[in-house]
Amino acid sequence: MFSKKQAPENKPVTSSRNASGSTFSVLGSDTAIKGDINASADLHIDGRVEGDIACAGLVQGETSEIVGGVSADSARLAGQVHGSINARELVILKSARIHGDVHYEALTIEQGAQVDGRLSPRGAQMPRDLPAEDSESHLILATSSD
């Protein structure tokens, strides 16, 4: 008469500990969030976020889309971002599509990644006698092993 079978739990947002002992949260591919996200932990995002993201570390999956700014100590981007990015260490993978300005201290871009915006090192001083479009940014292009 009564079934003891429990309904499956839908947990698109989970929290766990990584190897270093700090926590991280995962937003699954079926998750869509409208609003800003502020986290002291690391985030792994496979879903869609409409809002600004501020966190310690960000890993973005290939199918993920972020519409808003990203601010992180380290970021590894593989999906779409429509907004500015500010990261100390930034890795843009070949599947990434970035539409916005990128500010970084260390930058790696895999061959095939697309960035539609200005790349500028954080804290860099622009020479006063040069217009902004004549300044040089330094970046590393990574080759894929495929």
Between these two residues, 15 and 123, which has the higher pLDDT value?
A: 123
Q: Which two structure tokens, joined as six digits, stand for 40? A: 């002291």
Q: List pLDDT tens digits, range 87-129.
A: 999 999 999 999 999 999 999 999 999 999 999 998 764 444 4
20-59 pLDDT, tens digit each: 455 789 999 999 999 999 999 899 999 999 999 999 999 9
Whether the predicted model's global pTM rises above the 0.75 cut: no
Distances from the Cα of 90 to the Cα of 11, 38, 42, 59, 73, angstroms: 29, 18, 14, 10, 8
pLDDT number for residue 128: 45
33 backbone dihedrals φ, ψ, rounded to 5°: -125, 130
* Residue 68 included in any domain: yes
The pairing of strands 23-27 and 13-17 is: antiparallel
Confidence (pLDDT) at 59:
97
Residue at 131 is within a domain: no
pLDDT band of 145, cuts 50, 70, 90: low
The tally of domains found in the chain comes to 1
Domain containing 19: what range?
13-123+137-142
